[in-house]
Structure 1
Amino acid sequence: MADIKGILFDKDGTLVDFHATWFAIGDILALRAADGDRDRANDLLDVAGFDFATHSFRPDSIFAAGTNADIVSLWYPHLANGARQALIAEFDRFTTEEGASKPVVLPGCREALAALHATGRQLGIATNDSTGGAERTLLALGVAQMFAATYGYDAVANPKPAPDTVYAFCDFTGLRPSQVAMVGDNRHDLEMAKAAGAGLAVGVLSGTGTRDSLSQLADVILDSVADLPEYLAVQA
């Protein structure tokens, strides 16, 4: 643990309460896609990963772990490429504005980030949200100044679970992948860590992932980011 000099965090479900922040936004987008048909919108939410029985998003579902481009492809499969790109841009704009205006921070998150930043470690964001949406969310949470870099799905050639974001963070900070920890609530986060050769893959149970869904990939599973400073301190 002493060699961990940088930490990449997923955003939604890791720093931000995924369900509280994103269900209302996803519902609006589904209703638009369904032309206001409530039943059809519910079907779209279901196929994207919302479980109406538990009122939560399924682990590793498209809505939980995918990008706006994935959602557009799922909900609008017959669009021509130009129209698809325009709609992805509209989704990015809407989710950036709405997600950044209503983020619900997870308990203990700000304090944990401050403690980790105080150790001198480089902090970064690796999200399948847009880069602009992630940056505005960090500003809304009042933690942007603690982060060296923010990477959305549109900042790299291949988003999570590809290793590109870890490599980009290492290029920017001068760290090696083995010096970087990746923290996230979905398998995509941990798959990226493993693909890149990250030094530590940390699963957190504060989002859509479960102990069962994360256990095969995580080096350690914590209840939330709030537990990370103590874990790293004890392991050092």
Structure 2
Amino acid sequence: MIDGLLFDKDGTLFDFRASWGRWAQGFLTRIAEDAAHARRLGRAIGYDLDTGAFAPDSPVIAATAADIAAALVGELPGRTVADLTEWIDASASQAPMSEAVPLLPLLSALRGQGLRLGVATNDSEVPARRHLANHGITDCFDFISGYDSGHGAKPGPGMCLAFARQLGLDPARVVMVGDSRHDLEAGRAAGMRTIAVLTGIAGREDLAPHADVVLADIGAIPAWLSGLKA
């Protein structure tokens, strides 16, 4: 019934709070003039430096590096969105990612069932590939796309449709797995099933209306797949 799984990256493969909270603290502190400026920068992208919490509408959660740059540029005279985007990408490539679950055994098991696997992220492709490589899982995926890979950004369906097209899959037999409405809306727009996971910022009540099922994390996917076959 299912031939492919397409994963979001941040908040899905990797725990969002643990991974991007550390990045935001370090990045904002480095580019700020002082502590007060760092807090203003944090507010611009929906991040509280004092509590380490992201606002539900923070562009860091589901938007692109260019969107984050656009939110920051007003607080950084002399900078442009283009050079800020490059700065963010360079910094994000070095961000330490925390696996939501042990990834290599899970992904290897899913591939062992004959499933085709992909990544569709609103991160840029270069840092996305760096994160996957740092965890030794690049070869687990048949398809890796960022918002700048030529298929558009989520919630548009472009990356989802490209995954299905390139691998010769029927979108109705593919599942988009993500932690945000952007992920789920992209999957549904492409005619795919959708799985929501709770390793991002959004809660069950926000995601459930847009998902076929809400799971605690991607580690529960094998049991869900088994249930489909029962």
Pairwise same-fold verdict (TM > 0.5): yes
Residue in structure 2 matching 1:30, options 28, 31, 35 = 28
CA contact (8 A) 1:59 1:213 kept: no
Is structure 2 residue 147 aligned with structure 1 residue 153?
A: yes
Is structure 2 residue 220 aligned with structure 1 residue 222?
A: no
Which digits, 9 at most, give the CA deviation of each residue in 1:173-209, with x for residues without a partner? Answer: 01122121000111110011111111x1100011212
Is structure 2 residue 206 aligned with structure 1 residue 213?
A: yes
Residue in structure 2 matching 1:11, options 5, 9, 12 = 9
Secondary structure (helix, strand or coil) at the match of 2:153 reads coil
Q: Residues 42-121 of structure 1: matches in 2 within 5 Å?
A: 42-51=39-48, 55-77=52-74, 83-96=80-93, 98-99=94-95, 102-121=96-115
Which digits, 9 at most, give the CA deviation of each residue in 1:141-182, with x for residues without a partner? Answer: 111111001111111342011101011111210112212100
Residue 197 of structure 2 corresponds to 204
Secondary structure (helix, strand or coil) at the match of 1:103 reads coil
CA contact (8 A) 1:112 1:228 kept: no
Q: Is there any run of 5+ residues in structure 1 with no aligned partner, and where? A: none
* Distance across 2 between alignment mates of 1:133 and 1:43: 26
* Distance across 2 between alignment mates of 1:47 and 1:88: 15
Equivalent AA in structure 2 for residue 171 of structure 1? R
TM-score (norm 1): 0.88
Q: Which moved more, 1:11-20 or 1:183-192?
A: 11-20
% identical aligned pairs: 37
CA contact (8 A) 1:60 1:208 kept: no
Q: Kindly tell me the number of residue pairs found equivalent between the two proteins.
A: 228
Which digits, 9 at most, give the CA deviation of each residue in 1:38-91, with x for residues without a partner? Answer: 1232232233222568633233521111111001101104989x9422221222
* Distance across 1 between alignment mates of 2:103 and 2:56: 21
* Distance across 1 between alignment mates of 2:89 and 2:125: 9
Secondary structure (helix, strand or coil) at the match of 2:148 reads helix
Cα root mean square deviation, aligned = 2.1
* Distance across 2 between alignment mates of 1:13 and 1:116: 19
When residues 135 and 50 of structure 1 are mapped into structure 2, their CA distance, relative to the original with a 3 A threshold, is same
Secondary structure (helix, strand or coil) at the match of 1:64 reads helix
